[in-house]
Amino acid sequence: MTRFDNLFQKGLADLSAQGRLRTCQQWQYAGGALLKRSDDVVVIDFSSNDYLGLRMHPLLRERASAWAQVEGSGSGASRLVTGTSSQACALEKRVARLKHMQAARLFSSGWQANASLVPALARLSAQVCGAPAVILADKLIHASLYHGCAAAGVRPIRFRHNDVAHLESQLQKIEGAGLRIVLTESVFSMDGDVADIAALHEVAQKYDALLCVDEAHATGILGPEGAGLANGLADVVVGTFSKALGSMGAFIAASEGLCRWLDNAASGFIYSTAPSPLVLGAVDVALDLLPQMDTQRAHVGALAASFRQKMHDAGQDTGPSSTQIVPILVGQEAQARTLAQKMAEAGFLAVAIRPPTVPPGGCRLRVVFHANHTWAQMEALADTFIRASKGMA
């Protein structure tokens, strides 16, 4: 025990008293949609983001191994030193085509990409425009984008969630030469709803604002051939390989000029070791598979739609969800934890989401559907939750 541990213990005790203390559990893949806990209890996974079930696909493991045989297990350095391989450059071109953009840059995680992007754009505004950037953010953007704003020293102007009219009213008030930057997501990870990208594009064009869209939860699972929802209408698209694509890492896709600026201004690109060839090999084959997976995407969408209807019929609130992510809003921390525990005891992993991930009073069970879920598993999940919630009434 160190001389500061009493502070940490007090902080942990405070979190526990609030019902917000979190602890990692150990999990092992058990086939299909199943996970095995460290105590050998097996549950059906309705919490992870492996939307297409690619995480354990044999082709991803084979391609990862093949790329490692050629390039090694690690990249060895940052991209600007010796970490840029021909395979990485080819993969960036593939990502750019997927997102209808001129170019792309790879990052080690979605957090790193978002936290690097915003300060890089803010630096451009100060250096080239001669004025601070003005950032307008949907109030429910990911924590990594808010971290990017903090790192940039910019306090964002928040507009109401998915309210394009409110965004426009805020843009109308802005004066000065600073770069206007709009931050949003195409699919919001906690509510499972979608942004009106076409309307956001129109407003951004009207007010000469740079539209940045995080497509972490759309890439691979939504849009034509899994291309996402931005459809070339955003100026910058951020996405991850760690969800529907079953691997790890992320990308920023944009114009060639913006990507060249990132080479010189994005701290996460400049100062971090480049992603491992193992990771990039898996991503490469996942991109091969995406156009062939319309059946799996339709299956996931149908499961989620049916589950939402069952919840609505039972009087449950799933918020504005319209995607593979279906929150069941339950209110307070204690209720969310109790329901999640009851579901786990019945063999279903549906993690309770609590503040600060969601606002106080907005606790929920976040249910996520995958291509390897069956109709019987979805129906059993719905029936079990309805019984559990009635037992708490």
Catalytic residue, from 57, 99, 142, 373: name it. Answer: 142
Catalytic residue, from 47, 49, 85, 144: name it. Answer: 49
- Per residue in 276-287, pLDDT (tens digit) is 999 999 999 999
Per-residue pLDDT band at 391 (split at 50, 70, 90):
confident
CA atoms within 13 Å, Cβ hemisphere of 53: 20
User: Which of 274, 291, 308 marks a domain boundary?
Assistant: 291
Has residue 6 been placed in a domain?
Answer: no
Catalytic residue, from 47, 75, 162, 189: name it. Answer: 189
Distance CA 212, CA 8 (A): 37
**CATH number of the domain encompassing residue 197:** 3.40.640.10
Give the pairing type, strands 363-368 and 325-331: antiparallel
Distance CA 23, CA 329 (A): 22
Catalytic residue, from 50, 71, 138, 185: name it. Answer: 185
- Return the pLDDT at 390: 87
Has residue 108 been placed in a domain?
Answer: yes
The helix/strand/coil state of 174 is: coil
User: Which of 246, 274, 291 marks a domain boundary?
Assistant: 291
Question: Has 50 been annotated as catalytic?
Answer: no
Domain that holds residue 314: 23-52+293-391
Per-residue pLDDT band at 185 (split at 50, 70, 90):
very high
On whether both 286 and 297 belong to a single domain, the answer is no
Question: Has 189 been annotated as catalytic?
Answer: yes
On whether both 187 and 331 belong to a single domain, the answer is no
- Return the pLDDT at 141: 98
Catalytic residue, from 57, 201, 217, 342: name it. Answer: 217
Question: Has 379 been annotated as catalytic?
Answer: no
Question: Has 231 been annotated as catalytic?
Answer: no
- Per residue in 69-91, pLDDT (tens digit) is 999 999 999 999 999 999 999 99
On whether both 260 and 313 belong to a single domain, the answer is no
Question: Has 345 been annotated as catalytic?
Answer: no
Average pLDDT of the chain is: 96
Has residue 16 been placed in a domain?
Answer: no
Which pair of structure tokens corresponds to residue 198?
A: 């076409």
Q: What is the mean pLDDT of residues 244-264?
A: 98
Catalytic residue, from 168, 191, 193, 214: name it. Answer: 214
On whether both 119 and 243 belong to a single domain, the answer is yes
Distance CA 375, CA 302 (A): 9
Counted domains in the chain:
2
Has residue 385 been placed in a domain?
Answer: yes
